[in-house]
Amino acid sequence: MYSDPKECIYCTKHDSRDAIMMHICDLSVSKAYLFKEQTYHGRCLVAYNKHVNDLNELSDEERNAFMADVAKVTRAMQKLFNPEKINYGAFSDKLSHLHFHLAPKYVDGPDYGGTFRMNPGEVYLKEDEYQEMIQALRKEILG
Kindly give the parts of the chain with pLDDT less than 70: 1
Helix (H) or strand (E) holding 81: helix 60-81
Q: Residue 69: what residue type?
A: D
Confidence at residue 95, expressed as pLDDT on a 0 to 100 scale: 75
Q: What is the pTM of this model?
A: 0.95
Contact 84, 112 (CB under 8 A): yes
List the one residue out of 21, 5, 17, 22 whose CA is nearest residue 97: 5
- The C-alpha atoms of residue 85 and residue 106 are separated, in whole angstroms, by 7
Query: Which domains are present in the chain?
Result: 5-142 (3.30.428.10)
Contacts of residue 134, Cβ cutoff 8 Å, sequence gap at least 6? 22, 24, 34
